[in-house]
Structure 1
Amino acid sequence: MTVMRMPWLIAFVVAVVVLVALIVVMAVGLATHRIRIHSAAADSDSADDLSDETTTLLSLLPGTSIVVDANDEVVRCSPQAYQLGLVSDDAIVQQQVLTTVHEARRAGGRHQFDLTTETPERYANARDRGDHVDTRSVRRPNWLKVTVGRINERFVVVLVTDVSEVIRFAQIRDSFITNVSEQLLEPTTALAKLADSLESEEIDREHVTEDARLVRSSCNKLNHMVADLLLLIRAQEPITPSSANRLNVMDQVRAVAERLQPQAERDGVRLNIKGDADLVINGDKDQIDSALTKLVENAIGYSKEGGVVSVSASRSTDGTQVVIRVVDQGVGIDKRDQGRIFERFYRGAEQSERTRDGVGLGLAIVKHVALTHHGDVTVWSVPGQGSTFSLMLPVAR
């Protein structure tokens, strides 16, 4: 745990040092008359009261900084302050930050605390790709380390270190360990039960058969998890486009659909395939096959009997990308889950009889395949109305 805290701890210490340096610079500036003394009538022009040294120092800060004047107006801040949900319309919107600003202005000193915010929806929820709007992510917690200090009688500075990625990584790591441990324990537990049944003086064939079924099921899940983990490992190295790795997109789509057709028929789901036969990308055939397989398998698994899963491939409006869309008419994905479904081992609440045995690695594989191919993957979903996953990959040149 100490190792995990080091990145944000170092950044936090740096932020505190910079805050002290900022206060020193302001004090020196006052001593040498580099800051003009304004009358009360000129108070509205707060930004002009910041010295060149202060402005330069703020621009060099590694984290997010906010400068507030005597009227609680934000006179300068980093763009991230808006994205982290701290500032809106030139005002601090987090009451805890504003209260601490007042305390620092009144009593001086340095004030530190932790804060959790949410990214405003306009910054996190959607982006326009030209021909459609995809949901890339939804609001997710931002875990912040906040330091507040008074510069002088007029200005207070707020320094913010975003440690969200460190905390999320720790959460994913813990989930990874928990899930892998559970998957490894299942086969051994099932084997132990089977051994007990076989060693019994009165062997019950029905119990032996049931225990053997559990062993086979557990081993299949373990094999599936190991195979997916190997796929994740192989999907870490970026793909370099060349004439040797050109792939026809529809050939890949048709191959996946043909292989999964028996599963679709067994589950009472109809597959519809369409697309431009001339679309070509640069990629690793096995990785692209794995990503498409995971998307179509999920669409079939979450669809109701009698539903339709559509897979299409087309060129984006600007012509630079191939967009492969997998559309289902299934249960959909709750909004609170949409921002996390691409994380390893994360599984949403809506599981069906056909998907409950999954280990939560499928969409993580899709995400990493997209990234290694210099592409992206997005999701649009409404509970009860189905989901659309869009895999975007650069057109081969």
Structure 2
Amino acid sequence: MDPLLTAALAGVVGLAVGVLGMHAFRVSEKQRAMGIDVDEPTMPEGATEVLASLGLAYIVVDTVDGVVRANPAAYAFGLVRGHTVVHSPILELTAKVRADGVIIDQQLELPRGLQGETSMVVHLRVAPLGDEYILVLADDRTEVSRTEAVRNDFVANVSHELKTPVGAISLLAETIEDAADDPEAVSRFSQRLHKESNRLAALVQDIIELSRVQGKNVVHAGRPVDLNHVIAEAVDRSRLPAEAKNIDLKVGGRLPRRVHGDHDQLTMAFRNLIDNAVRYSPENTRVGVGLSSRDGIAQVTITDQGIGIAPENQERIFERFYRVDAARSRQTGGTGLGLSIVKHVITNHGGEVALWSQPGRGSTFTVRLPELEEGLDDLTGLSSAEGLTRTLTRTDDIGGNA
């Protein structure tokens, strides 16, 4: 055979082998890729749509607790990081469900944050999903748990606070009955009985007021309120106890605009602040009430020359039934609810209340409330519907003239 022909045939055969080799490689790669797709975890039909409609955080893990699927809420809660379940208590539940196939409902308190600096309460439902997977549903119950704890504490505190004066009244009544032949003792115990009954009445009234404050929607039921009148009324109600201790009660400044809210609630809040200032101030001192306005914010400050509040107590001073000095509060007639009522009222009005205090140098409570815009603060005397209509009309006029 001609050497040239032999070389040409060898070249053709080599080329054909090369082409076949490349084709075989591509087929092999395609088959391998198809094999991976087939082996990928697949969710049961319709499971994804159902999970998306639940509105809960969910995690789906495989046989080795790798995260197959998780929604954004699970990542936001910090339950999942990358493809890993973060919290070992959750993995303990998935292992148990995988072992016995029984659905578990459990509530856990879990650390939250990169360093576990906070915590959250989640209700978990862990159940089998198909033959291979475990589904974890998580419902954030942190706020619900906090509210329930506050409610339970409130009930317990109310029971305790009511028990004290009721018990004292019962004991004093028995003592008076036993001392019927001793007029001096009867008079002395009767005065104490009167004091305890007044304390009980004040406590019940504060509980009623706190309930009323929490139940009223100031945004919808409120009206324009002149804080100058509110402060004048609150100060007037504190005149007698101030005069009894020779405390100089002074008001300075004036507010140019009104605020939106409830006149009675605001009067009650400022009366509590002024009453506290008078109650915890020594005789022959001064309590000042200052009114000012800046950048659409009405500011009222109540300053006393009393005993002051230590820094460690200032953060808790607005808690229900919290007292810096329980014995002194009993002597002064405090119920422990006054500042809690103040906090609720001011917050409901879109404002804030702050405290500055130093032991031995007195305290200053500062209340800030948003003022109504000029031209929209003269709706006093109108019904809610009329006031809303007038406001909308004025707003339309402003927009039309722009």
- In structure 2, the partner of 1:160 is 139
- In structure 2, the partner of 1:237 is 216
Spell out, residue by residue over 1:360-392, the C-alpha distance to the aligned partner (whole angstroms, 9 max, x if none): 332343355346x65355556899696856464
Structure 1 pair 216–336 and aligned structure 2 pair: CA distance change class (3 A)? same
Separation in 2, partners of 1:302, 1:80: 50
Structure 1 pair 58–160 and aligned structure 2 pair: CA distance change class (3 A)? same
Separation in 1, partners of 2:207, 2:128: 50
* Letter of the 1:231 counterpart: E
Structure 1 pair 147–296 and aligned structure 2 pair: CA distance change class (3 A)? farther
Separation in 2, partners of 1:89, 1:272: 60
Look up the SS of the partner of 1:231 in the other structure. helix
Does 1:190 find its partner at 2:172? yes
Spell out, residue by residue over 1:144-181, the C-alpha distance to the aligned partner (whole angstroms, 9 max, x if none): 53322343545541323624134543442343344334
- In structure 2, the partner of 1:148 is 126
How much does 1:248 deviate?
1.8
- In structure 1, the partner of 2:195 is 217
* Letter of the 2:162 counterpart: V
Structure 1 pair 182–79 and aligned structure 2 pair: CA distance change class (3 A)? farther
* Letter of the 1:111 counterpart: I
Out of 330, 336, 356, the residue aligned to residue 309 of structure 2 is 330
Structure 1 pair 336–363 and aligned structure 2 pair: CA distance change class (3 A)? closer
Further displaced range: 245-254 or 381-390: 381-390
How much does 1:247 deviate?
2.1
Identical residues among aligned pairs (%): 18
TM-score by length of 2: 0.59
How much does 1:280 deviate?
0.3
Out of 66, 70, 81, the residue aligned to residue 75 of structure 1 is 70
Is this contact kept in 2: 1:302–1:351, CA < 8 A?
no
* Letter of the 1:355 counterpart: S
Is this contact kept in 2: 1:379–1:389, CA < 8 A?
yes
Out of 173, 176, 193, the residue aligned to residue 158 of structure 2 is 176
Look up the SS of the partner of 1:355 in the other structure. helix
* Letter of the 1:215 counterpart: L
Look up the SS of the partner of 2:334 in the other structure. coil
- In structure 1, the partner of 2:273 is 295
How much does 1:232 deviate?
3.8
Does 1:115 find its partner at 2:115? no
Structure of greater Rg: 2
How much does 1:196 deviate?
1.8
Is this contact kept in 2: 1:250–1:275, CA < 8 A?
no
How much does 1:215 deviate?
0.6
* Letter of the 2:197 counterpart: C
- Equivalences for residues 258-337 of structure 1 within 5 A: 259-260=237-238, 277-298=255-276, 314=293, 319=296, 322=298, 324=300, 329-332=308-311, 334=313, 337=316
Separation in 1, partners of 2:335, 2:75: 35
Separation in 1, partners of 2:300, 2:75: 32
Spell out, residue by residue over 1:307-326, the C-alpha distance to the aligned partner (whole angstroms, 9 max, x if none): 987755545x6x4x645565
- In structure 2, the partner of 1:369 is 345
Look up the SS of the partner of 1:277 in the other structure. coil
How big is the alpha-carbon RMSD for the aligned residues of Structure 1 and Structure 2? 5.0
- Equivalences for residues 48-59 of structure 1 within 5 A: 53-59=46-52
Does 1:66 find its partner at 2:58? yes
Separation in 2, partners of 1:87, 1:327: 48
* Letter of the 2:309 counterpart: G
Further displaced range: 217-226 or 251-260: 251-260
Look up the SS of the partner of 1:347 in the other structure. coil
TM-score by length of 1: 0.60
Is this contact kept in 1: 2:301–2:364, CA < 8 A?
no
* Letter of the 1:67 counterpart: I
How much does 1:221 deviate?
0.5
Separation in 2, partners of 1:268, 1:73: 75
How much does 1:223 deviate?
2.3
Structure 1 pair 177–143 and aligned structure 2 pair: CA distance change class (3 A)? farther
Separation in 1, partners of 2:70, 2:356: 40
Structure 1 pair 97–67 and aligned structure 2 pair: CA distance change class (3 A)? same
Spell out, residue by residue over 1:127-156, the C-alpha distance to the aligned partner (whole angstroms, 9 max, x if none): xxxxxxxxxxxx8x8655332234354554
Unpaired segments ≥5 residues, structure 2? 1-33, 377-402
Spell out, residue by residue over 1:285-324, the C-alpha distance to the aligned partner (whole angstroms, 9 max, x if none): 2221101122333455567897987755545x6x4x6455
- In structure 2, the partner of 1:227 is 205
Separation in 2, partners of 1:99, 1:327: 57
* Letter of the 1:358 counterpart: G
Count how many residue pairs are aligned between Structure 1 and Structure 2: 323
* Letter of the 2:350 counterpart: G
Look up the SS of the partner of 2:189 in the other structure. helix
Spell out, residue by residue over 1:318-355, the C-alpha distance to the aligned partner (whole angstroms, 9 max, x if none): x4x645565775234548846xx45xxx3225226542
* Letter of the 1:78 counterpart: A
Higher helix share: 2
Further displaced range: 142-151 or 382-391: 382-391
Structure 1 pair 383–143 and aligned structure 2 pair: CA distance change class (3 A)? farther
